[in-house]
Every structure is written in C-alpha cells, then in structure tokens.
C-alpha cells in the first residue's frame, strides 16, 4: 500500500511538472524576422528599459541593475518604462537602490510610471525624483517631448482608471489633433510609451487592456513605436492594429516590451502572441532615431546583441 502511494505521488509530481512546463515557456525564442539587422548609425541614440532597480537580496553595486546601467553611455537619453524601483518606488527606495545604480543617468531620463511607482495611490515620489512628468488636473502622469526635428515622444500613464483614464484619453486626443493641424510640423515619426503592454506573452497578459482605445487612437495618427515594460522579459512584435491584426502594408505601431532592467525575470506563458522575438535576459533596448527611420538592438548584460533591425517610419514608408 505504501509503495502504491509512493508511486502515485511520483506520478502526481511528474504531472505537475508537465503542466508547469506546458504553461511556461522558459527561454524559448522564435527567430527574428526577415528585417535586416542593423547597427545604429548617425541618429539620436536612445536607451529604453523598465522594471529596473531591485536591491532586496544584494547590495546595489552587486545588483543586476548596476550591470544594465553600465550598458548606457553617460549622457545618453534614457526612456524609463516604469517600475523603476522595487518593491515600491518610494523616495527611500529610489535613493537607496535606483540612485546608486541608474542614478547616474537621471538627468538624461524621461520616465513613465509603473504600478510599483504608485505609492499609497499616487506617484508623488516618482515625480519628485525624475521630475519629467506633468501631473494634470485629471490625476494622471503624461507628457510629450520633441526628441529631434523628426521624432516626437508621448508618455502615457497606464495605471489610472475611471475619470482619470478618460481625462488622459481626451488630453491625448487634443494633442494629436492639434499636431495634425500645424502646417509647419516637421516630425514624421511618433514614439509612445506606457508601462503595461497591450500585447505580451507573459503572465500579466491583458493588464494593458484599458490602453486598447489609446492604441487605436495613436494608430490613427500614425504612431510608429510603442514601448512598455511590466513583463519581466524582452519581446518584439510586428506592427499590429488595435484588434491584434498585422496589416499587410505594415502600417500600424510596432510594440517592444522591455522589462529587463534588473528585476527578477520570468518565462513566457502560453498561448503567446505572434511575437517576432522573445529574449529572457536582462538588458536594454538601444534605439537609433534617424531622419524618417529607426533601428533597434536589444543588448544583454554581457554586451551581446540578441535582436536587431531597421525600418522606415510610417509617414515615409511608401
């Protein structure tokens, strides 16, 4: 009887292991698309990453965040994709963990808040540290910047709900409509960032669902890139519309998920979206924003390029 129970226990353990493997895709990575990999050329060099400073188990100088921060040259523009410090991005944790690692880039960082950056229902400590966002009367954190003569950045807040979310949508709608009515506007390329991705193959899949109508809006105005974090891995998609379809002409935003700044990584979960690259390594996304085009490279902590490519902006693709 004991032998039978022992055998049954072993079968149960094996079954559990099989179920876990079926649900979680560890380091599986599909091949990159047919886009020709390209090294950055003469454009503005931008480094994007989220889910960054976690010093809970080690000293800041020994953390993964210290290693990823060294991938970014001093003075380079950094786009922070949220969850900048763990377990909460309060003033103390930002000072004790983020500052000794990524703090060297703070003056050149534009950041959007993640859920861990909201402490007691507000992002005051986040705003006090980075100083890059604009807190509107509607209770959300968003801003826009002209990065170059050709590139505009819009940062949105994926953490708000209800009236604040509606106020942010109306703010974005006015901003994009106003841009479209300015005859002298020269920016052909649009980069948008927020924390919780609309599309992902991770355990938080669906957490960015509230941003679907924002995706539809920025798609209508020709957005080229959407950058997000939240999922602790790197994932790149082909251009997708708000229904998750890949237009035949490629005229839709391309999303990158870059939650690889230093927080603990986790695997990809079935069923994954049809993403073009998935990498389970810490690292940063390097973008080269050219005149009417861009190229990208995902660089891991060992300096290896794990994914790369280059395309023209939508406004000049045809």
Split into its structural domains, the chain has a count of 1
- Per-residue model confidence as pLDDT tens digits over 147-166: 999 999 999 999 999 999 99
Cα separation of 298 and 284, whole Å?
6
Domain that holds residue 57: 42-316
pLDDT given at position 25? 41
pTM for the whole thing?
0.86
Cα separation of 207 and 176, whole Å?
25
36 lies in a domain? no
- Per-residue model confidence as pLDDT tens digits over 97-143: 999 999 999 999 999 999 999 999 899 999 999 987 776 777 899 99
80 lies in a domain? yes
Cα 216 to chain centroid distance, Å, stands at: 18
Q: Looking at the predicted structure, is the pLDDT value of residue 2 above 70?
A: no
pLDDT given at position 26? 41
59 lies in a domain? yes
Of the pLDDT bands very low, low, confident and very high (cuts 50, 70, 90), residue 185 is: low
- Per-residue model confidence as pLDDT tens digits over 203-227: 877 677 999 999 999 999 999 999 9
Q: What angle do CA 184, 185, 189 make, to 5 degrees?
A: 155
Q: Looking at the predicted structure, is the pLDDT value of residue 5 above 90?
A: no
Residue 233 DSSP label? S
Q: Are 225 and 191 in contact (CB under 8 A)?
A: yes
> pLDDT > 90: what percent of the chain?
69
Q: What is the mean pLDDT of the chain?
A: 85
181 lies in a domain? yes
232 lies in a domain? yes
114 lies in a domain? yes
Q: Looking at the predicted structure, is the pLDDT value of residue 20 above 50?
A: no
- Bridge partners of 144, per DSSP, are 154
- Bridge partners of 77, per DSSP, are 46
13 lies in a domain? no
199 lies in a domain? yes
Cα 286 to chain centroid distance, Å, stands at: 12
Give the torsion through C-alpha atoms of 236, 240, 246, 252, to 10 deg.
Answer: -110
Q: Left (φ > 0), alpha (ψ -120 to 50) or beta: where does 70 sit?
A: alpha
The CATH number of residue 62's host domain is: 3.60.21.10
Tokens 């996304």 label which residue? 285
CA atoms within 13 A on the CB side of 221: 22
Helices (H), the chain: 2-23, 64-69, 91-93, 99-101, 124-130, 162-180, 212-220
């Amino acid at each position: 009887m004991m032998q039978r129970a022992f055998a049954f226990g072993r079968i149960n353990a094996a079954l559990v292991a099989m179920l876990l493997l079926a649900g979680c895709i560890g380091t599986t990575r599909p091949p990159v698309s047919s886009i020709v990999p390209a090294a950055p050329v003469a454009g503005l060099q931008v480094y994007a990453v989220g889910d960054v400073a976690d010093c809970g188990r080690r000293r800041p100088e020994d953390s993964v965040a210290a290693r990823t921060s060294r991938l970014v040259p001093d003075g380079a523009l950094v786009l922070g994709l949220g969850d900048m410090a763990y377990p909460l991005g309060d003033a103390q944790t930002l000072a004790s963990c983020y500052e000794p690692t990524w703090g060297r880039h703070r003056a050149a960082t534009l950041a959007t808040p993640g859920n861990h950056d909201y402490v007691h229902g507000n992002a005051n400590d986040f705003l006090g540290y980075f100083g890059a966002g604009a807190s509107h009367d509607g209770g959300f954190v968003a801003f826009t910047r002209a990065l170059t003569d050709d590139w505009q950045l819009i940062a949105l807040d994926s953490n708000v709900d209800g009236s604040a979310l509606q106020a942010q949508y109306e703010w974005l709608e006015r901003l994009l409509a106003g841009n479209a009515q300015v005859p002298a506007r020269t920016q052909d390329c649009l980069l948008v960032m927020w924390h919780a991705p609309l599309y992902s193959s991770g355990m938080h899949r669906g957490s960015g669902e509230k941003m679907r109508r924002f995706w539809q809006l920025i798609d209508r105005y020709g957005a080229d890139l959407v950058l997000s974090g939240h999922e602790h891995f790197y994932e790149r998609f082909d251009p997708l519309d708000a229904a998750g379809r890949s237009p035949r002409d490629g005229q839709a935003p391309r999303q990158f998920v870059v939650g690889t700044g230093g927080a603990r990584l986790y695997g990809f979960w079935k069923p994954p979206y049809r993403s073009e690259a998935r990498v389970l390594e810490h690292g940063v996304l390097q973008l080269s924003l050219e005149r009417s085009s861009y190229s990208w490279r995902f660089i891991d902590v060992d300096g290896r390029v794990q994914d790369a490519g280059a395309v023209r902006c939508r406004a000049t693709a045809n």
